[in-house]
Amino acid sequence: MALRADTERHSAKPRKTAGGFHQSWYAIACSDEVRAGRVIGRDFLDGRAIVYRGDSGRPVVMSAFCRHLGADLSIGEVIGDEIRCAFHHWQYGADGVCTKIPASDKIPKAARLFKFPTAEKWGLIWAFNGERPLFDVPDFPNFAESALDYRTDEAFDLPVEPWVPFTNSMDFQHLRILHGLKIECDPERIEVGDYRIEYDVRFEDPKLGIFDQSIRVTGTNTIALAGRLNGMNILSMATGTPTPDGRTHGWSVTATPRAEGNESEREQRMQIGHAFFSRLIEEDEPIMKTIRMREGLLIDADRALARFFQYVKRFPTARPAARFA
Ligand code: FES
Ligand SMILES: [Fe+2]
């Protein structure tokens, strides 16, 4: 699989969603990349963000550049629950507001960073692209995080916007042709909400057999599948995050219920789930690395896909961190 290190560029210029980026939850780092008292920097959306954990252990995601002269705070220092700039020691609280300027007792009002709504789930730290979250962090259908064993991996890096690979979720032609799945799904039974899409589907995989799936798309950049294969519950999630070069960096989560089977059975289920999902990603990758995705000539067999395009088009966009860059 291609990871972040695979920087092979595609010659086509990526198109940017009008009005910024979809207002969605984006994974920005793995939980174990950010230990308490540490800060890291990430290229994110069309700018940069810092991710840190203070003494409280709670992760914080904020715009990366100091409001004084623009030093990158990812080379600053975590002090308690605050972040201190390396250059002149301006210090910012976890809400982004500057709390201390060593050279002055007056703190300008504008001395604040953009604080992204931040959450931690599925072994990932998530930031919402907006002032306030419009919906919850992505979940699996039918299972709470506490009920699952799961594993989180970096999974893909593609030269497209995040919504593009997730057209896959409702592109039934490609599930049959590219992935060789037999699939039964009435497009009219797909529930398309404002921020989430849900449906049940039966895949028949040539090797694995019948795989009954409850599928949930959250935002335009995360898909979660809760599947049942030969009596086993196997769950998989993929999520994509936009980076400034117009690419999408993706993670996957593979899970199985903690209460079912012994440890080696659960491990085996996770390996099956991971292999199934990896196969789909690997088969999609050559297409997604070269596509100039557009809503082209759709036919009757694309009815579900057409609904996905409509959903993406009306999804709210924003770029609230831009003025803090
Ligand atoms: S640039 Fe950060 S304190 Fe001066
Ligand atoms: Fe696919």
Which of 50, 62, 66, 83, when mutated, tests ligand 1's pocket best, judged by the most ligand atoms within 8 Å of its CB? 66
Q: Which domains does the chain have, with CATH numbers?
A: 24-128 (2.102.10.10), 145-314 (3.90.380.10)
Would you call 317 exposed, middle or buried from its count of C-beta atoms within 10 A (0-12, 13-18, 19+)? Answer: middle
| Ligand number, closest to the Cα atom of 65 | 1
Distance CA 211, CA 171 (A): 18
With tokens 């540490």, the residue in question is: 38
Residue 19 Cα to ligand 2 middle (Å): 27
| Beta-carbon contacts of residue 21 (< 8 Å; ≥ 6 apart) | 45, 46, 129, 242, 317, 318, 319
Residue 140 Cα to ligand 2 middle (Å): 19
pLDDT confidence of residue 308: 96
pLDDT confidence of residue 187: 85
Q: Per the structure block, which two tokens stand in for 235?
A: 């769950």
Residue 222 Cα to ligand 2 middle (Å): 13
Q: Per the structure block, which two tokens stand in for 28?
A: 């920005």
Task: Yes or no: say if 112 and 62 are a contact pair by the CB < 8 Å rule.
Answer: no
Distance CA 95, CA 60 (A): 9
Which contiguous run of DSSP H or E holds residue 94?
none
Task: Yes or no: say if 229 and 210 are a contact pair by the CB < 8 Å rule.
Answer: yes
pLDDT confidence of residue 103: 97
| Ligand number, closest to the Cα atom of 88 | 1
pLDDT confidence of residue 184: 81
| Pairing of β 21-22 and β 317-318 | antiparallel
| Ligand number, closest to the Cα atom of 89 | 1
Task: Yes or no: say if 228 and 214 are a contact pair by the CB < 8 Å rule.
Answer: no
Q: How far apart are the first and last CA of the chain?
A: 33
How many degrees, rounded to 5, is the angle at CA 121 between CA 119 and CA 126? 40
Q: What is the 3-state secondary structure (H, E, C) of 239-281?
A: EEEECCCCCEEEEEEEEEECCCCCHHHHHHHHHHHHHHHHHHH
Q: Per the structure block, which two tokens stand in for 192?
A: 């398309």
Distance CA 164, CA 292 (A): 9
The segments of the chain whose pLDDT lies below 70 read 1-18
Atom number of ligand 1 nearest to Cα 88: 3
Tell me which residues have their CB closer than 6 angstroms to ligand 1. 66, 68-69, 71, 85, 87-88, 90
Which contiguous run of DSSP H or E holds residue 123?
none
- Of 65, 91, 67, 63, the closest CA to residue 77 belongs to 91
